Amino acid sequence: MILRSVVERIKSGEMEEDEFWFVALEFAEVVVERARGMFKTKETCDDYIIEYYIVEIMRFFFGLSLILFYAFLRDHMELRDILKLKVLKSF
């Protein structure tokens, strides 16, 4: 849950890096949980579709191209752990 004080700082445009990471990681947890819950109920849905959805949502959040997003994930282990992408096993 994002604290009210953090929400107010987001609205004001004055956010420190640690607050941003708190919001980003919380958002990532929600995206992964909802994507896996939403798509796993479909019979024909496989993990690649779920991972595509997760990557695209998180890429949009950070405003990165695909190649930069994967480069970004190399340096951010906590985010990588939350996303649990099979494609990242090679990193």
Give per-residue pLDDT as tens, 25-35: 999 999 999 98
Give me the residue label for tokens 């949980």: 33
Domain locations in the chain?
15-90
Give me the percent of the chain exceeding a pLDDT of 90: 36
Predicted confidence (pLDDT) per residue in 36-75, tens digit: 888 766 666 677 888 889 999 999 999 999 999 999 998 9
Q: State the pLDDT at residue 86.
A: 79
pTM: 0.76
d(CA 29, CA 79): 9
d(CA 89, CA 56): 18
Give me the residue label for tokens 């494609």: 87
Selection from 27, 17, 18, 87 nearest residue 60 by Cα: 27
Q: State the pLDDT at residue 90.
A: 53
